[in-house]
Amino acid sequence: MVSSCTDESSSTSESFSPPTATATKFSAPPLPPSGSGGSNVVLDSKNGVETDSRKLPSSKYKGVVPQPNGRWGAQIYVKHQRVWLGTFNDEEEAAHSYDIAARKFRGRDAVVNFKTFLTAEEDDNGELCFLEAHSKAEIVDMLRKHTYAEELAQSNKRNGANTNTTTQNDTVLRTREVLFEKVVTPSDVGKLNRLVIPKHQAEKHFPLPSLSVNKGVLINFEDATGKVWRFRYSYWNSSQSYVLTKGWSRFVKEKNLRAGDVVTFERSTGSDRQLCIGWKIRSGLSKNPVQVVVRLFGVDIFNVTSAKPSNVVDACGGKRSREVDMFALRCSKKHAIINAL
């Protein structure tokens, strides 16, 4: 079940910026009175040592931290930054959430609290694919909202119901007609948060209803992972150009698009005629050589051009691999690295 996911661990930087929500639905916890209040000091009967009761009990689980109200928080560190995974009533629940995140962020070999669920081959596959099929941000969001189990179950349910094909290989069956491609410019991936669509292509494939010319319309595009991207599409009189605006920068960020990369606009040939969007690293500069550009914090460190014929590095809707970042992780000072190179 190779499915469409290529990139080993996939994904890069994503924004995990859920609103500072409160405990979300779930069952209201019958909280123990625990030290929400006073600054009492308790005497430990065994050794007569003073123990401050305010001190929170540490968890035996990795990635789990105590909360002042007796609940447990889960967190994982990625690229020197903490990613908050939510708060939970049970220590174990928090630990499990950490495990899931660890697998998503660090792959199947991640060190986790409960080895159990990551050994099986068959049963586990469903979860592996599920993890593959969702972005890190989505997984984190599910964990924080305590909806992971539910969504996983639903996903499995869907797959189980469809006996017609293999597991998740509908992406293989789904054929797409390429409408056009664009080599993105620096400004397409810059701070302008817009992608200019060549006029000819725009008018040919994305005609704007005359009424909407000014306000623009929202268009959904599905990427190779099945994720749907919604962009505002409109015409800018000032520059007399068609552009994708709102939502575009998210795509650039998640896919880590760089100037020179190619964005592909496709349309499903199926009955749904779903619009799709794909991307590849650099265009076939010259026919075939594969170009491996190693970038560190946006700086091209080196640039290997192999003799291998296989054309463009297709990102498969996944995300640009980040070997370099893996390396970078080990160093604390960005500039130190750059200078060192």
| 65 near DNA, judged by CB under 7 A | yes
Q: Which of 59, 97, 249, 256 binds DNA (CB under 7 A)?
A: 59
Residue 112: burial class (beta carbons within 10 Å; 0-12, 13-18, 19+): buried
| 78 near DNA, judged by CB under 7 A | yes
| 156 near DNA, judged by CB under 7 A | no
Apex 179 CA angle, 177 and 180, nearest 5: 135
What is the chain's percent helix, strand, coil content, to nearest 5? 30, 25, 50
Which among 242, 246, 232, 238 has a CA at the least distance from the CA of 180?
242
What's the CA gap between 72 and 94, in Å, rounded? 6
What's the CA gap between 217 and 242, in Å, rounded? 11
| 163 near DNA, judged by CB under 7 A | no
Q: Which of 1, 8, 15, 18 binds DNA (CB under 7 A)?
A: 18
| 20 near DNA, judged by CB under 7 A | yes
| 87 near DNA, judged by CB under 7 A | yes
Sign of CA dihedral 149, 153, 159, 163: positive
Sign of CA dihedral 252, 315, 270, 206: positive
Q: Is the Cβ of residue 64 or residue 281 nearer to DNA in the bound state?
A: 64
CA gyration radius, the chain: 24
Q: Is the Cβ of residue 69 or residue 171 nearer to DNA in the bound state?
A: 69
Q: Which of 6, 7, 54, 219 binds DNA (CB under 7 A)?
A: 54
Q: Which of 25, 46, 80, 335 binds DNA (CB under 7 A)?
A: 80
Q: Which of 51, 82, 199, 331 binds DNA (CB under 7 A)?
A: 82
| 58 near DNA, judged by CB under 7 A | yes
Taking CB under 7 A as the binding criterion, the range among 73-81, 147-155, 214-222, 291-299 that sits at the site for DNA is 73-81
Q: Is the Cβ of residue 65 or residue 313 nearer to DNA in the bound state?
A: 65
What's the CA gap between 319 and 12, in Å, rounded? 7
What's the CA gap between 223 and 275, in Å, rounded? 9
Give one DSSP letter per residue of 23-76, joined into a string. Answer: S-SSPPP----TTSS---EEE-TTT--EEETTSPPPPSSTTEEE-TTS-EEEEE
Taking CB under 7 A as the binding criterion, the range among 83-91, 146-154, 204-212, 272-280 that sits at the site for DNA is 83-91
| 114 near DNA, judged by CB under 7 A | no
Q: Which of 8, 32, 51, 79 binds DNA (CB under 7 A)?
A: 79
Q: How far is the CB of 96 from DNA (least distance, A)?
A: 14
Provide the CA 253 distance to its chain's centre, in angstroms.
Answer: 10
Q: Are 307 and 287 in contact (CB under 8 A)?
A: no
Tell me, by CB under 7 A, how many residues bind DNA: 39
Q: How far is the CB of 315 from DNA (least distance, A)?
A: 23
Q: Is the Cβ of residue 91 or residue 132 nearer to DNA in the bound state?
A: 91
Residues that bind DNA (CB under 7 A): 18-23, 31, 36, 54-56, 58-59, 61-69, 71, 73, 75-80, 82, 84, 86-87, 106, 111, 144, 329, 332
